[in-house]
Structure 1
């Protein structure tokens, strides 16, 4: 077993591993390669792989959370370990590398995400379960009907938008999203890299609602072939309660389906009742669950 820093050429192996371990997560080869080759600015992002006989059998990344005003928060992405290589120290080796990196960059609090069956492993490493997460899927065959926008609301593809307008709507919508730390400090530079320049972003399917010249709701689509991930759907606080989140999400799903997407995935905090209700009405079904877990670093 060899653990080493990830290289861009590891992207195909990482995506193949993810398809086995977490088939409901969507990030394609090119966007994974992009992240390894050009990490997000200001996050001290680093990733590692575990390799056996030239095959990637483990993956993890660790980074500074640059989306929150809380100081010294680090995150570890969901550990990926191939089922045939578990119980051999692979997960522990990856976790140790990630924690050492977070200590080195000054993190004092760590957030990670695990499947329910991995909670004993997390507890053994001093992580405490915090919030439950639901993963859901929607079959887009046949395509959802195109919604009819109410008077005064324009539905616009992200492809024709000024990204700064979309960033402002994202910041306003995400500030009170349920989570272990608030997403209230999303810089434009980080957002532009992670969202707008992401090679998986389908700008033609991603949809925003405009009212009186202001972007007030949006639904982002990240795509890998015929699979998509609803990256974030949000409404600025002043315009909530008008059905705009469901409107933009249905429009985005319709546009994605008509361009060849066959299944959509998403995730939600179990405390986010409004978004869970929207997804249920759109036809999403639960396919997996997870937990955020917290640990303090000395």
Structure 2
């Protein structure tokens, strides 16, 4: 048995497909496609110093890591490493070697604090603890059987409120960017981020290969975007990447309106499974999703390691 770690060969379709397959086997609650893997690596902002690593055992890709710096945070020196090994190839050295390689690289890039998501399972949590990582907050993956769900009936928007899609902003997506920037700034989490680079957002988010602009729903109040639910799709699966409302319009049910409308249109378009994720402290969104029929299917725990 020989395990080695190397960079993902982004120009090798078979290598990229193997990376996506390992991620899907380890974390089936997120949409993984070769196109999305390449897009993330190639189009992430250069200041993130992003890398995608693979662990290879006797020529077979058995583990993966996505690593980099949190370049859009006001606090410097924060890095991330998210390591996943194929379930049938765990406890063979791939995970530990990926962690060591990632830590050496990120330290060299100036990181002093490293964050990692770890599945809430005894073996995974013990692995993180052995490598010096401490538990922080948690987040849930949720799933909805969209084909058979008893969704609430679609609501008619109240006066002054209009439902649009992201496709309606194809000529000028800046209003969607501004909406995304404000809602992300208030999302629960350990690391503060600030979307200030419109061109980077266009490249990384607006042009993401899985973004479904027809199903991404935007709630417009008095002519201005006030809430949205961002939809990614692949095959028969639909995933909500972000649902949120601007601060001045919260408490009026606009996020639920956006997500309910998007789910109905997704089912009408033939999607049969809906996925999403929520921080465990995000009570309002968890309540919305529970009311729509989502059920928690897995949990991850955020871990941190202070360096030096």
TM-score computed with the length of structure 2 as normaliser: 0.92
Q: Secondary structure at the match of 2:47?
A: coil
Matched, 1:56 2:61: yes
| Equivalent residue for 1:102, pick from 92, 101, 106 | 106
Structure 2 matches for 1:21-100, cutoff 5 A?
21-77=26-82, 79-100=83-104
Structure 1 match to 2:240: 230
Structure 2: tracts of 5 or more residues without a match: none
TM-score norm. by structure 1 comes to 0.94
Aligned counterpart for 2:259 among listed residues 249, 266, 290:
249
RMSD: 1.6
The residue number in structure 2 matching 1:120 is 126
What is the DSSP-based 3-state SS (H/G/I as helix, E as strand, rest coil) of the residue aligned with 2:48?
A: coil
* Deviations, residues 170-207 of structure 1 (Å, cap 9, x unaligned): 11112121100222344223322221011010111001
Question: What stretches of structure 1 of length at least 5 have no aligned partner?
Answer: none
Tell me how far apart the structure 2 counterparts of residues 69 and 101 of structure 1 sit (CA, whole Å). Answer: 21
User: What is the distance in 1 between the residues matched to 2:167 and 2:136?
Assistant: 37
Confirm or deny that 1:203 pairs with 2:213: yes
Other-structure match for 1:171: 181
Measure the CA separation in 2 of the matches of 1:167 and 1:23.
28
1:294 paired to 2:304: yes
CA contact (8 A) 1:74 1:110 kept: yes
Shift of 1:100: 1.4
Match for residue 216 of structure 1? Answer: 226
Alpha-carbon shift at residue 140 of structure 1 (Å) = 1.1
- 8 Å Cα contact 2:43/2:204 also seen in 1: no
Give 3-state SS (helix, strand or coil) of 2:174's partner: helix
- Report the count of equivalent residues: 297
Q: Does the CA contact (< 8 Å) of 1:24 and 1:265 recur in 2? A: yes
Q: 1:268 aligns with which of 260, 278, 294?
A: 278
The 10-residue stretch of structure 1 (185-194 or 91-100) with the greater mean CA deviation from structure 2: 185-194
Question: What residue number does 1:147 align with?
Answer: 155
Provide the secondary structure at the position in 1 that maps to 2:218: strand
Contact residue 221 and residue 228 of structure 1 kept, 8 A: yes
